[in-house]
Structure 1
Amino acid sequence: MFFRATAATLVLMSVTPTTPLRVGNASGFYGDRFSAMREMLEDGRLDVLTGDYLAELTMLILGRDRLRDPDLGYARTFPRQMEECLGLAADRGVAIVTNAGGLNPAALADRLRDLAVRLGVDVRVAHVEGDDLLGRAAELDLGRPLTANAYLGAWGIAEALRAGADIVVTGRVTDAALTVGPAAAHFGWARDDYDALAGAVVAGHIIECGTQATGGNYAFFTELAAAGHDLTHPGFPIAEVHGDGSAVITKHDGTGGAVTTGTVTAQLVYEVAGARYPGPDVTARLDTVRLTQEGPDRVRVAGVRGEAPPPDLKIGLNSMSGFRNDMTLVLTGLDLDAKADLAERQVRAALKGREPARLAFHRSRAHQVPAGGVADRDAASGDLDAPEQDAASIHLRIEAADLDPRKVGRSFGAAVVELALASFPGFHATAPPGDARPDGVGFSAAYRPASAVPHTAVLPDGTRVDVPPPRDTAVLTPVPEPPPPDPWPPGPTRRAPLGRVAGARSGDKGSDANLGVWVRGEDEWRWLVHTLTVDELKRLLPETAPLTVTRHVLPGLRAVNFVAEGLLGGGAGSGPRSDPLAKGLGEWLRGRSVDIPEAFLP
């Protein structure tokens, strides 16, 4: 159980298996909709409001902030949101749980206490620490990173809430822990209530990315719009968590977007790997998840099984490696390959003797293929006889990186611009030369025993409570792939984009790309699981062909999940791809043409 704040008192919440805990989310990343916190507090009832601000790239950003000012290192938008909403949350008895503390949760907690005094709002603030291992990097053999943070679990949050905290600020905890901690405190779960904990992990994973669970970034968004769902301003998600760990995913009545088994599936397959989804408190079995549309904007998530967590904690490491810059030239009309080759030769010659350590040239379209246009033209080709100039053009992006900022500063851009009257016909750039910027290279993950990482809840009265590591653990092993269903029988097919029948969502895991693909019917599943193999994926996405790609099968979700190792180079803060987070990878796949049974197509 835990205490819930009102304006001036703490009210003990009743703890019964039949009383769900309404956990909302108001942030899926650092930079998400600023007004979401107020909207979630004003638009309906909540018990807990979470905010997820941290991603791999965010830790790099916060690490740079801390280099400039040791008092920083937290999400600076959060205090401004709380200045608007602190009194409202207290009046409504809503506990706030957030990882906005980033690299400096203690400083953010102090700032919130000062804010509460200034606003005259009586709230109790706690924080969780221990994840920041930068000072022990040498001891733990982690190299010399800019940031080094272990992914802590939910029990520090639970301790703080049990002690009466109205606001709990954490550093790097797992995203799902923001939901699991309040649920564990509310229902009094034990450390080995694995099924309940796993159910809350799945619920937390679904709502952690905000509006991605309510129609945002959804592959079949046009169908939602056609069904009357307004996607202009999607509402943020809510998980009604029950005492057994099952949950109903929903949103406030009257808000935009939609909650369907499809939108929930899309988020479930986002940035996961196999059937075992490991965390510091429990390993959730994603192959046991069952989704049911319970009513409009209500999806029940049930049946989740849990297992003991792995013995080691994941540690996210960010490192900075020099500086980077880029220039983009526009090539138009005829002889595009020859123009690009000439530009590359000239730039390399101009930089001879001071060429950066990394100098790469990337060709891409400067335009969209128009409706009814040529869909299979090479991505780095313009359209001949095009009625618009952009349609006849491609971009040549020149990327430079080096430890020495002088090699990639304005002089690099100036060397490119000096070719303007001496290079290919039609030479022009998309922007003038700019300054070098820090190059965040190399997010990587290390694993160390949980017993080597402190986990401390600092309660509202300053008491420090050590959270012990799990007593029982289990080494993570892959779940054997289940026998596939019988294949869809041979019959007439039609060449069409895969996305006509399959949804997809993709994202980054360090230097690896993650791509989940699902279908909505059992017949389509019989076809997809036999058709979309690793070899077929590599054929459809040639960039993945030389890479190690692993496929994981999730029959209960009618989904296959792929991990393409190394596709993103140095990860979110670096790498040559124009989509360094792999957010568009799934849509690229959906746009590729395959032979689809006519029975599945309109």
Structure 2
Amino acid sequence: MKGVAESRDRSRSVLRIGGVSGGVFDRFRSIQDLAKDPSIHAVLFGDWISEISMTFRGNERASRTPDAEQVAFEMSFISALKPAIQDIAKNKQRVAVNAGSCDPEAMAKVVQQLVKDHGTDLKVSWVTGDDVTTQFKEMLKSGEKFPSLPSDTPIDQWGVEPVCAQAYLGGVGIAEALRHGADIVICGRVADAAPVVGAAMWFHNWGREDFTELAHALMAGHLLECSSYVTGGYYTGFKKELLQSRNCTNLGFPIGEIESNGEFVITKEKTAGGIVNVSTVTAQLLYEIQGPLYYNSDVTARLDGIHVADEGPDRVRVTGVVGLPPPPTTKIGITARGGWQAEVHFFLTGLDIAEKVELVKRQTLESMGEYQKEFTTLTFNVTGSVAENPKNQASATVDLRIFAQSKNPDIMSAGSHKGVAPDTPSFAKWVIENCLQGYPGGTPAMDLRQSTGKPFFEYWVALFPQNKINHEMHTFNGMTIPVPAPTVTAMYPRQQVSYDTSSPLPLDSWGPTVRAPLGHIVHGRSGDKSSDCNLGLFVRHADEWDWLRSLLSVGKLRELLEEEDTGKKIDRFEIPSLNAVHFLLRDHLDRGANSSSSYDILGKNVCEYIRYKKVDIPKVFYDRGTI
């Protein structure tokens, strides 16, 4: 692809790309504000979809009748784009997003009309091929097992019927759209970082085998795609670096500056708050990774030698990413209808919390009787604890959440399901009917709308051959251009390398210790990928690294997890250049965000739980001050 004719001026050798969304609920001001910045002279990109939104949109697409008018894309993108259209045209910027979700063509047509209505001639193209439902079902019939990435379980043990399958596409189709003159590129399920990879391929005329450059762009996309996560959002140093300043209420959206060799700088809007420093970049880099290899359908990035360095105020340079060929497969997300779920909450105060929970549980199960077998999930979970000597009633109160899932809509309906009589036995009635024979102080949450069942979805993540994907780019002027699968690929072990540290030092090597929460001196980040949970922990100073790596073995993590340890496999590797230890807790999140019975559906609080656990911290480190 190098040397392809391109009318765009290449006199500026740095691609300045703005990250305008990290999810469907991100702040709508982003595109409008960044579009006004003429220094972002190439691309605005955003991530509008997640595993949760893809299951909803996928079900909408699979359920749609031929004459239906509803669409399965993310309308919030339209709301964010409208006020920015004229500035995008004025500043000759490009836009690349995945907001097309399960209907990129339909969204492209809406956007085409929108830009016309705003008096511009912006050209809109779109990318398809991520819907691999037909190919998936054919392979399933022929005996393909599609083992789960988190658990290695074959899909025939899933217990639900798949309705759609969506492949994670790379950035090549986006690069082709930009090369063919598109101003706005609408995609469906591309990898989160793919718009950045595609934009960099287009801007720098990289080829598909320029793996070092592509790997750096992949990591730039990984850092930018969660919006203000890299500018201070979910940052464990927020207390001193954000909350005590005046820049915590409007964090700036991030900007990447990608050079022709792939190396890049992360910075942010100058006119907004937030911070970009080595720690915020390290935290986001550790987010949602799976091991030392970061796979993408365009390239594989090796991370264990990556280097980040401050280059100035709110500027961090990233180098040292090793590029390798992509695998011949890519990830697919498979959606199934899981059934219905509901919940009821009780508030318990003061003494005998465990006994009160036991009373509620026994009475509820007795009411359900033989109907218990109708539930695929039924949990009684307490959130919070009573303070030692509470100063107010709130600090003496905990939340008992009774959570249920069932494939039977009748018992989840509370009489609201069509055709079900109001006196039909139901989850809500079985739980609530015991209030007057219940525990001392018995008080349910009075908003009982959650007690009526709502649909939920199951999500299965597996691998899919890239050469079975009909990846295509559709231009604004009616052309359809096929995007072939990569021809240079490499096979990688399904299990990434995992190890405890080599030559750990005795933990008394640093002298006297202070018993304190790990997070007093250790930063971290955690998150979900399907039902896997990743956890990255890192220290601020290089001389603390040997202590961290020596302390945090897999065995030590299991000790800190205590009752949260599921007993499943935990992978571990190190990134010494970041003073970081990374863990992957395999299949830890109860089927993942779409169907989890936990409050922590995204795994983001696993890190905060571990950072709160007490360990023996060397006094010499503790005396430097807490985070």
Q: TM-score range by the shorter chain?
A: over 0.9
Is the contact made by 1:511 and 1:568 (CA closer than 8 Å) also made in structure 2? Answer: yes
1:110 alignment partner in structure 2: 109
Structural mapping, 1:42-441, within 5 Å: 42-43=36-37, 45-46=39-40, 47-66=42-61, 67=63, 71-141=70-140, 144-225=161-242, 228=245, 230-355=247-372, 356-366=374-384, 381-383=385-387, 385-410=389-414, 411-434=426-449, 435-441=452-458
For each residue in 1:334-373, what CA deviation from the matched residue of structure 2 results, as whole angstroms up to 9, or x when unmatched? 211111111101111111133341353333344xxxxxxx
Q: What is the distance in 2 between the residues matched to 1:484 and 1:161?
A: 47
Q: What is the distance in 1 between the residues matched to 2:246 and 2:277?
A: 11
Is the contact made by 1:153 and 1:174 (CA closer than 8 Å) also made in structure 2? Answer: yes
Q: Once superposed, what is the RMSD of the aligned Cα atoms?
A: 2.1
Which letter maps to 1:202? Answer: M
1:7 alignment partner in structure 2: none
Are residues 52 and 192 of structure 1, via their aligned partners in 2, closer, same or farther at CA, if it must alter by over 3 Å? Answer: same
Q: What is the distance in 1 between the residues matched to 2:30 and 2:60?
A: 24
1:469 alignment partner in structure 2: 485
Secondary structure in 2 aligned to 1:352?
helix
Which letter maps to 1:572? Answer: A
Secondary structure in 1 aligned to 2:448?
coil
TM-score (norm 2): 0.89
Q: What is the distance in 1 between the residues matched to 2:482 and 2:580?
A: 40
2:21 alignment partner in structure 1: 27
Q: What is the distance in 1 between the residues matched to 2:130 and 2:219?
A: 22
Q: What is the distance in 1 between the residues matched to 2:246 and 2:284?
A: 18
Is the contact made by 1:43 and 1:252 (CA closer than 8 Å) also made in structure 2? Answer: no
Is the contact made by 2:38 and 2:91 (CA closer than 8 Å) also made in structure 1? Answer: no
2:527 alignment partner in structure 1: 507
Is the contact made by 1:413 and 1:432 (CA closer than 8 Å) also made in structure 2? Answer: no
1:374 alignment partner in structure 2: none
2:552 to 532, 548, 551: 532
Q: What is the distance in 1 between the residues matched to 2:204 and 2:277?
A: 27
Q: What is the distance in 2 between the residues matched to 1:287 and 1:570?
A: 29
Is the contact made by 1:274 and 1:553 (CA closer than 8 Å) also made in structure 2? Answer: no
Secondary structure in 2 aligned to 1:491?
coil
Are residues 427 and 440 of structure 1, via their aligned partners in 2, closer, same or farther at CA, if it must alter by over 3 Å? Answer: same
Are residues 282 and 70 of structure 1, via their aligned partners in 2, closer, same or farther at CA, if it must alter by over 3 Å? Answer: farther
Is the contact made by 1:333 and 1:384 (CA closer than 8 Å) also made in structure 2? Answer: no
CA deviation after TM superposition for structure 1 residue 75, in Å:
0.6
Secondary structure in 2 aligned to 1:180?
helix
1:600 alignment partner in structure 2: 621
For each residue in 1:287-310, what CA deviation from the matched residue of structure 2 results, as whole angstroms up to 9, or x when unmatched? 121111000000011122100111
Is the contact made by 1:214 and 1:259 (CA closer than 8 Å) also made in structure 2? Answer: yes
Is the contact made by 1:414 and 1:433 (CA closer than 8 Å) also made in structure 2? Answer: no
Which letter maps to 1:56? Answer: E
1:456 alignment partner in structure 2: 472
Are residues 534 and 135 of structure 1, via their aligned partners in 2, closer, same or farther at CA, if it must alter by over 3 Å? Answer: same
Deviates more, 1:407-416 or 1:105-114: 407-416
1:520 alignment partner in structure 2: 540
Structure 1 unaligned residues grouped into runs of 5+:
3-10, 367-380
Q: What is the distance in 1 between the residues matched to 2:122 and 2:513?
A: 63
Is the contact made by 2:501 and 2:553 (CA closer than 8 Å) also made in structure 1? Answer: no
1:39 alignment partner in structure 2: 33
Q: What is the distance in 1 between the residues matched to 2:243 and 2:59?
A: 44
Q: What is the distance in 1 between the residues matched to 2:381 and 2:498?
A: 41
Are residues 163 and 393 of structure 1, via their aligned partners in 2, closer, same or farther at CA, if it must alter by over 3 Å? Answer: same
Secondary structure in 1 aligned to 2:323?
strand
Q: What is the distance in 2 between the residues matched to 1:391 and 1:227?
A: 26
Q: What is the distance in 2 between the residues matched to 1:109 and 1:201?
A: 25
Q: What is the distance in 1 between the residues matched to 2:246 and 2:318?
A: 22
Q: What is the distance in 2 between the residues matched to 1:495 and 1:400?
A: 40
Are residues 80 and 225 of structure 1, via their aligned partners in 2, closer, same or farther at CA, if it must alter by over 3 Å? Answer: closer
Secondary structure in 2 aligned to 1:138?
helix
Is the contact made by 1:259 and 1:298 (CA closer than 8 Å) also made in structure 2? Answer: yes
Secondary structure in 2 aligned to 1:137?
helix
Q: What is the distance in 2 between the residues matched to 1:472 and 1:457?
A: 21
Q: What is the distance in 2 between the residues matched to 1:412 and 1:20?
A: 59
Is the contact made by 1:59 and 1:147 (CA closer than 8 Å) also made in structure 2? Answer: no
For each residue in 1:439-497, what CA deviation from the matched residue of structure 2 results, as whole angstroms up to 9, or x when unmatched? 222x2212122111121111121211111111111112445769747637241111011
Secondary structure in 2 aligned to 1:354?
helix
Q: What is the distance in 2 between the residues matched to 1:171 and 1:553?
A: 34
1:556 alignment partner in structure 2: 577
Are residues 37 and 497 of structure 1, via their aligned partners in 2, closer, same or farther at CA, if it must alter by over 3 Å? Answer: same
Q: What is the distance in 2 between the residues matched to 1:192 and 1:427?
A: 65
Which letter maps to 2:446? Answer: A
- Percent of pairs with identical residues: 37
Q: What is the distance in 2 between the residues matched to 1:426 and 1:530?
A: 48
Q: What is the distance in 2 between the residues matched to 1:25 and 1:598?
A: 41
Q: What is the distance in 1 between the residues matched to 2:523 and 2:389?
A: 34
Are residues 358 and 330 of structure 1, via their aligned partners in 2, closer, same or farther at CA, if it must alter by over 3 Å? Answer: farther
Q: What is the distance in 1 between the residues matched to 2:598 and 2:457?
A: 14
Q: What is the distance in 1 between the residues matched to 2:377 and 2:127?
A: 43
Q: What is the distance in 2 between the residues matched to 1:226 and 1:98?
A: 32
Which letter maps to 1:387? Answer: K
Are residues 204 and 419 of structure 1, via their aligned partners in 2, closer, same or farther at CA, if it must alter by over 3 Å? Answer: same
Secondary structure in 1 aligned to 2:134?
helix
Is the contact made by 2:28 and 2:79 (CA closer than 8 Å) also made in structure 1? Answer: no
Q: What is the distance in 2 between the residues matched to 1:439 and 1:70?
A: 23
CA deviation after TM superposition for structure 1 residue 383, in Å:
2.9
Secondary structure in 1 aligned to 2:201?
helix
Structure 2 unaligned residues grouped into runs of 5+:
141-145, 147-154, 156-160, 415-425
Q: What is the distance in 1 between the residues matched to 2:348 and 2:376?
A: 23
1:494 alignment partner in structure 2: 514
Which letter maps to 2:436? Answer: L
Q: What is the distance in 1 between the residues matched to 2:285 and 2:139?
A: 33
CA deviation after TM superposition for structure 1 residue 98, in Å:
0.2
Deviates more, 1:325-334 or 1:474-483: 474-483
Are residues 480 and 572 of structure 1, via their aligned partners in 2, closer, same or farther at CA, if it must alter by over 3 Å? Answer: closer
Q: What is the distance in 1 between the residues matched to 2:252 and 2:174?
A: 26
Q: How many residues in Structure 1 have an aligned counterpart in Structure 2?
A: 579
